[in-house]
Amino acid sequence: MDRKGDFDLTKEWLIWIVRAIVFFVVISIVIIIIYIPISLSYNLDGLQHSLLRQHLISDKDCLAYEDSRVYPGTIDANKFTQTNLGKCFDSTRYGVRLSLTTNLINTLTLNEKLAKFEFCFDDKNFYCTNRTFYVLIKNDEAEQGLLNIEILNQK
């Protein structure tokens, strides 16, 4: 037997083993790259709820106090009405409950047909958020308060 031939055969086996390992690593990476975007689900409901909350607090047509400029985070007590908030945004897709707390608690509900917050436990069919903000409430004087915004929509 030729010893040199045995060495060449072993050398080729090592090269093929390295090639096989590299091949399986590359295939695994390609599968992972293809599988990750397919398996991700994008939840835009949270983003939409956040934008809606910011719209309610920061827009001069909604709740934000305005004199010569708009004061985001300062609530105009005169704008906290059902008719004003009904004009502020289209609430056909969302059920919204706003609670403004100072010495008194004022609660408004928009789209009463969908504002059934007892369904918030049903994660498969509904998406719910509940956030509380520290705000200034401008009536005759500025006073501190809490604005709780609950939003519900069907998935």
Q: Secondary structure of 8-74 in the HEC alphabet?
A: HHHHHHHHHHHHHHHHHHHHHHHHHHHHHHHHCCCCCHHHHHHHHHHHHHHCCCCCEEECCCEEEEE
Would you give per-residue pLDDT tens digits along the chain (155 residues)? Answer: 455 555 566 778 888 899 999 999 999 999 888 887 766 666 788 888 899 999 989 988 889 999 889 988 899 988 888 888 888 877 678 888 889 998 888 888 887 777 676 667 777 778 888 999 999 998 888 899 999 998 888 87
Q: For the chain, what is the domain count?
A: 2
- Asked whether residue 17 falls in the same domain as residue 53, the answer is no
- Asked whether residue 36 falls in the same domain as residue 55, the answer is no
- Asked whether residue 124 falls in the same domain as residue 59, the answer is yes
Report the predicted TM-score, pTM, of the whole model to 2 decimal places.
0.68
Residues sharing a CB contact under 8 Å with residue 112, sequence separation 6 or more, in sequence order: 95
- If one counts every other C-beta atom within 10 angstroms of the C-beta of residue 20, the result is 10
Domain with 11 in it? 1-40
